[in-house]
Every structure is written in structure tokens, then in C-alpha cells.
Structure 1
Amino acid sequence: MKPPAPSGSAIQTNALQAMCRQVFGFRLAMIALAAPAALLGAAPGLPVRLVGAAVVVTFMGSYVLFRDWERFGPLLLRHPALLAADTLLGSLLLVTAGPQSTLAYVSVCTPLLAGLAYSWRGAAFFACLQGLVLLAVRGDVLLLAGLCVITGALGVTLRNLLLRFGAATQALSEARAGLAAAQAVEVERARLAREMHDSVATTLHGLALAADALAACDDPAETRERAELVARAARRAAAESRELLSDLRSQSYGGVRAGVDLTSELTNRVRDLTSRWQDSGIEAAYRSVGDGTPPVVPYPMARQLLSIAAEAMENAVRHAHPTRIDVTAGVHAGLLRISVRDDGRGLPPGTTLDGLRGSGHFGLVGMVERAAGVGARLRIGRGDGARGTEVRLEVPLGARR
């Protein structure tokens, strides 16, 4: 006979132990109620001593197992003979108190415990043993003996249900853990794709354009100027790569960075955009608006906000062909608002995220994902202007963390 469950199945073991403990609590109460009748029904002398000893042993055994099952329960599970001895001692009480007392409930509980603890073999053995004891005490208790068989079968059924439920729960937990790991990998892949697209890929694209212009230039002074622009773009790509790697390492090892001043960072991004696209004739400017200047923002959030603003500016230059780009930031009614507005040709009618994703344009998709990641609201449309596009990002000040 084996313990109720494998050592690794903590869920099944705990459930079976809890049920066994409750059954012993019920037996304890029934023995306490029947003990006076058993003592009064015993003959003076040795019989009453034997009955008294049986009362003490069965009562204390049930009490110990109910009170401290975690310590003594495994002993009972390893040695079914202890339950058999308890059954035989209980027969002394049945002889004196009679099956019509509350000890009848104790007799019915024994096969139930065997079914829970020892499976069907133990249930069959103890149901037969308890039935024989009842028939030996009094011959007209066939109904009670039949109940012992029924409770034994009930104990086995409960055991099997608990084991199957525990196995199903464990399988579900493992499936959820696997799904969570797969989702974490997918989220990390999407994040890396956004970082590469919005930083290094964008800079390399500008570097390629600058290199093309350099190849077509004949004037030495202009060639020198364009070569310097290529060098700056290359250094920026290297810096962005280092920044991306540094950010990944800081997230992996729990590094903490200081807050970021959005005003200076946005000013630098606008200045960098102007220098890279100076030949296009596009004017770009930054100004603070609203109820106050943008507050200092924690680095993880600032990285996402600045990436969204930079991507909005790049998209405007590449696709909208504007003459001017205005970047503003400030506090409006408890919201940190960042706006990138151009006077270009605007978004094509019927533009959707699924359509952009399907056609390989991931810039706008990445902006939406970044905004959702920091709890921001992103609006893309015409805005208040007669033409062009406005990308507006709003973050509750209480969401900064």
C-alpha cells in the first residue's frame, strides 16, 4: 500500500490530507459521545478496564491525527496495520455500547479513511474487516455493513477525483507558465524590433542618404561639409547602439538611471533633425507650452516618449514632405502632453495599423505599442491645422514611475 500521492504532487497530497484530517475530527466527536455508553455497558473488573483502555487509545489516536496530521499522518499512511489495530480496539467499544450508538458512524468512517489513504485495495480490506466486526458483534447489521462497503468505494472515488484534479491543475499551471514564457519572448522581440527601428535603423537610413548626397557632390567645400554630416551620423548610430545595449544591460541587471529632462532632450532631437535634413529646406522648432514646462521623467518612460516623438518627426520628413515641423511639450490639466505637428500632405485615407504592419511599415505600429507600454494616450490625425498631421501624446502626471 502506498502513500496517497507522489512526493511531487503537492496539490493532491494537501487535499487528501485535509480530507483525512476532517474524517478523524468527526471520529473524535463520535467516540467522545459513545464513550459513556461503552463504559456503562461493560462488566465490572477486567472488561471495564479493557473498554476504558480502548476508549483512551481510540480517542487519543483520533485526537493526535486531527491535531497534528502533518507529523503523524505519514506514519499512518506507511503502516496500515495501525488503522487495523484501531478498528479492532473499536470493536470492544461496539460490543459494550452497541452498533446503535454513535460508534456506528466510526465504523462507517474506517473504510472511508482506507479509501482515501490506501486506494481500492485498502478500502476493500477495511470494508470487509469492519463488516466482519459488525456481524460478529450483532448479526442483524447487514445494512450497516453494506454502508461500510459504500463508504469505502466513496473514499476511493474521492481519492481518484482529487488525484486527477491535482494532475489537471498541475498541467494547467505548466501550460500557463509555458505560455507566459512564450509571451515574454514575443514581447521582448517586439521591444527589440521597436528599439532597432526607432534608433539605429533610422540613423542608418539618414546615413545612407547623406552618403548618396556625398557621392553626387563635386564642390570641395560642400563635399567636406557632407562628409562631416556622414561622420556625425555614423557616430550617432554607434552611440545609439551603445545606448541600446546599455539599456538592455541595465534592465537585465536591475540598474537604475536618473530622471530625464524632456525639454533639453526634445531640443536636442529637433536640432539633430534639422542638421540631418538641412538640404531639404524643412524648418523644425521646439517650444514649451501649457501650464508649465515638462517635468523630469524617469528614464524608462522618457525613453519611450522621446522615441515616439523622434519617430513622429522622422515619419513627417520622410513621408509627408512638409516645410515646417513644430514640436511642443508641456502640462495641460494634469496631463503631460507632447505634440509633433507638420504641414505636410497628411496620412493617406484609410490608413490602419493592420495595413501598415502588413506592408512592412512598423514605425506607427511601434509608436502605438510604446505608448501603451507607459500608459499614455496617442492621437494621430490632422489636429487643429488646416493640413498636415499631428501626433499628440498625453500621459497623466500620476503615471510617472
Structure 2
Amino acid sequence: MAVDVETNALRAMCRQVVGLRLALIALGTPYALLGAGGEGGAGLAGLAAPGRAAPGGAVWPVGTAVLVTFLTSYALFRNWERLGGPLLLRHPTLLAADALVGSLLLVTAGPDSVLGYVGVCTTPLLAGLAYGPRGAASFACLQSLIVVTVYAAGLGGSGLGAPGMGAPGLGASVLLAGLSVIAGGLGVTLRNLLSRYGAAARALAVAQAAQEERAHLARDLHDSVAKTLHGLALQADALAESPDPRGQARAVAGAARRAVEESRELLAGLRGVPYGGVKVDLTSELTDRVRDFARRSGIRTCYVDEGAAPPAVPSAVAGQLLTIASEALENAGRHARPTRVDVSAGVVEGLLRISVRDDGRGLPPGTTLDGLRRTGHFGLVGMVERAAGVGARIRIGRGCGGLARGTEVRLELPVEGVAAR
């Protein structure tokens, strides 16, 4: 992903350079045309003689060169995603052809004009961005060779170019060659900055992935293995004083097997191996968990249908929903001191809804997720993160309906999106 970000940034920067070229051509064209048809005109040797040139004497060559260069650059700019970006980074010959087209501005308007600077500076700049130091050096040399050839042939414009290269033409050609080298170096610098940005983006992506994986592992450990082991420890403590040690021992063995099963499921998830069935019956699973919670806690717990029967849910989504419901039950048993807990599930107005309500003492005033994180209470935090992971909306607050006090945990997930998630 970070590599794509770096490549896209390079393409976007190259496109901006092409856009800058179009702006410079639009800016410099009026001055070039006025100079070509006016007093002391600059243009093709022999077409713009000292004194007033014939009307339009050098206007047509300059105008033609501007039109060809502008349309070529505009075609690249307009179709950048389809033509310019992908082809420019892979095929240097495209930029070489662009440099030859740009040389028309050097010949007609003169290298020392605004239009001349367009070709002298933008082509090496693009080469530095697209191809790095070697490409910048190659195209700077190519551009310098074009400039020297133009002056040596007496096409330098502005009265500097005469047949053969004199001192003025030599000095101007050296200056413009230096500008092309500087432009190429600027392109290489920008490319290096984008490369460092890509490296930073890769490091950030790795850090974020590691952080998300740690949070995922912490949620799974808290909501599955740690919870089961805690219940196992409580059952083992009560084993010695139990009037039915055999039954209590079977409960301890069942809890241990459940911990092993949860550990296997957790390891399979970490290795990216699908675990469990493809579809899960939420009604059956919730009924079993309600029955198990009522047996272990001694709290009167009931499951009721709400609306239409919930559909079979993919195991990946069902695992998250059932874990949230189980954690809500455990929180009620540990902290709320309820006398009754109601669990309901069903489809209401196109939403798959799961609700866990108790009549306990409710959440302490001022409870926030950040506060829970700071104090090391990760149950509610994990529930919110799990709900967000499957695209569900979760509400944790005061109960409603028949249980106007206590706490309600309500999950809502669009039925149409269940299979997709």
C-alpha cells in the first residue's frame, strides 16, 4: 500500500509539473508573439531582421510551435491517469519525444524567452522526478545539447544568435545549460523526499497493523480464555466445599475443555485459518449461553425473541456478536448485582438486534471509554471495538422497556450487510 502511495505521489507531482508548463506557455505566448512581429523582433534568423519586421513575419512559426507544444502537454495533462502517468514512469522515450517537441519553442521564440525556459527547465525537472539522478543527468545533457545546437546554428533569438557561436551566445548557452542541470537536481530532490515519505508511510502502516493486532489479541484473551479461566478458578475453589464434588468436578472439567477450545480458536485466528462452521444459528447459540450463564451465576436469565427470527450469520461475524453478548452477561453478573437479566435477538426494521438488559445498579456516573482504558477495565472497550469491526452500532446505557433501571447493551447490524461482513 505504501509503495502505491509513493508511486501515486510521484505521478501527481509530475502532473503538476506538466500543469506548470501549460501555465508558463500561456503566460509567455503573448510576449513571444509581440516580440516576433514587433520592433527588433526575435525569432527565426532571417525572418526577424533588425528594425520593424514584416507584419507577422515570425508570428506564424512561433504560433505554430506554441500550438503544437501546448496541445501535446495538454493531451498528457488531460489523460494523465490513462496515458501520461503510467507511461511516463516506465518509458523514458516518451519524455525524450516531449523534449524534441519542446525544442520547437527554443528554435522559434529563442532560448532566452519565457517559452524557451519552459523546455529548458521542465523536461529535466520531469526526468529527475520520474527517473532519479541518472535520468535527470541524461535529460539535462540532452537539453543542454539542444540549447548549444540552437545557438550554434544562429537560432538563439533576441539578436544574440548569429551564424556560428559568439561570446554572447556561448555565455547564454552555458547559463541555460546550468538552469537545466539545476532543474534536474530539483526533480531528484523532490523524488527523494517522496521516497522518504513512502518509507515513513510503510513504517506507519506496519506500526498501525501491529497495534491493531495487539488490540485484537487483547480482546480475544480478555473475552475468551481469561474469562473462562477465571470461572474455572472459582469452580475449583468451590470444589472442596461442594455437596456434590463429582458434579462440580465435571463442571471444572467442562470449563477446562472450553478454555482449550477457545485457545485453539484464538490460535487458528492468529494463523489466518478459518475455524468453525460457515453459518451460525444465533438463536441456538444465545440460548445455550444464557442457560450456561444462569446455571453458573444463579441469576434468573431469560432469552426471548424480538421481531422476526434472526438469520444464520457467517461464523466470523457471529463470533464477534456472541462474544459481545457473553461479555455483557459476565459484566452484569460481576458488577451489576442484578436479580434478573433479559437477552433478546431478532430482526427489527431491517436491523439484526441483540440486547442484553439487567436490573442491576447500572454504570457509575461519568463512565467513559478513555477512563476505562486508563484504569485497566477493557471489557466495555473490547465490546465497542468488536462492534466497530463488524460494522455494528452498539449502545451501552440505562435499560429501557420492562427494565427501566440497570444497564442495557444493544447491538444493531443491517441484515443486508451481514453476509458481506
Rounded to whole Å, the distance in 1 between the matches of 2:161 and 2:230 is 96
**How far off is 1:145 after superposition?**
5.7
Runs of 5+ unmatched residues, structure 2:
1-6, 26-43, 48-72, 74-86, 126-135, 155-159
2:291 corresponds to 1:271: yes
2:325 corresponds to 1:309: yes
| TM-superposition CA deviations, 1:300-356 (whole Å, max 9, x none) | 111111110000000000111111111100111111110001111111111111111
Greater radius of gyration (CA): 1
**How far off is 1:363 after superposition?**
0.5
CA contact (8 A) 1:200 1:237 kept: yes
**Equivalent position SS for 1:184:** helix
1:246 counterpart residue number: 268
CA contact (8 A) 2:341 2:359 kept: yes
Rounded to whole Å, the distance in 2 between the matches of 1:379 and 1:395 is 12
Could you tell me which amino acid in structure 1 is paired with residue 409 of structure 2?
V
Could you tell me which amino acid in structure 1 is paired with residue 345 of structure 2?
A
Rounded to whole Å, the distance in 2 between the matches of 1:342 and 1:112 is 73
Rounded to whole Å, the distance in 2 between the matches of 1:140 and 1:228 is 103
Q: Identity percentage over the alignment? A: 50
**How far off is 1:383 after superposition?**
2.3
- With the length of structure 1 as denominator, give the TM-score of the two structures: 0.68
Rounded to whole Å, the distance in 1 between the matches of 2:92 and 2:415 is 58
1:261 is aligned, of 278, 281, 286, to 281
**How far off is 1:216 after superposition?**
3.1
**How far off is 1:262 after superposition?**
0.7
Alpha carbon RMSD of aligned pairs, Å?
4.5
Rounded to whole Å, the distance in 2 between the matches of 1:179 and 1:275 is 47
CA contact (8 A) 1:115 1:152 kept: no
Could you tell me which amino acid in structure 2 is paired with residue 272 of structure 1?
D
| TM-superposition CA deviations, 1:8-61 (whole Å, max 9, x none) | 9x959x959x98xx9xxx9xxxxxxxxxx99x9xxxxxxxxxxxxxxxxxxxxx
1:79 counterpart residue number: none
Could you tell me which amino acid in structure 2 is paired with residue 399 of structure 1?
G
Question: Relative to structure 1, is the Cα distance of residues 356 and 114 closer, same or farther in structure 2, using a 3 angstrom cutoff?
Answer: closer
**Equivalent position SS for 1:349:** coil
2:410 counterpart residue number: 392
| TM-superposition CA deviations, 1:155-204 (whole Å, max 9, x none) | 22321221111111111111111101110011011001101110111011
Question: Relative to structure 1, is the Cα distance of residues 323 and 333 closer, same or farther in structure 2, using a 3 angstrom cutoff?
Answer: same
**Matched residue pairs, number?**
332
2:292 corresponds to 1:286: no
Rounded to whole Å, the distance in 2 between the matches of 1:258 and 1:71 is 48
1:228 counterpart residue number: 250
2:363 is aligned, of 336, 347, 357, to 347
Could you tell me which amino acid in structure 2 is paired with residue 286 of structure 1?
Y
Rounded to whole Å, the distance in 2 between the matches of 1:149 and 1:396 is 70
1:57 counterpart residue number: none
**Equivalent position SS for 2:306:** strand
CA contact (8 A) 1:115 1:154 kept: no
- With the length of structure 2 as denominator, give the TM-score of the two structures: 0.65
**How far off is 1:128 after superposition?**
6.0
Matching of residues 181-220 of structure 1 within 5 Å: 181-217=206-242, 219=243
2:177 corresponds to 1:177: no
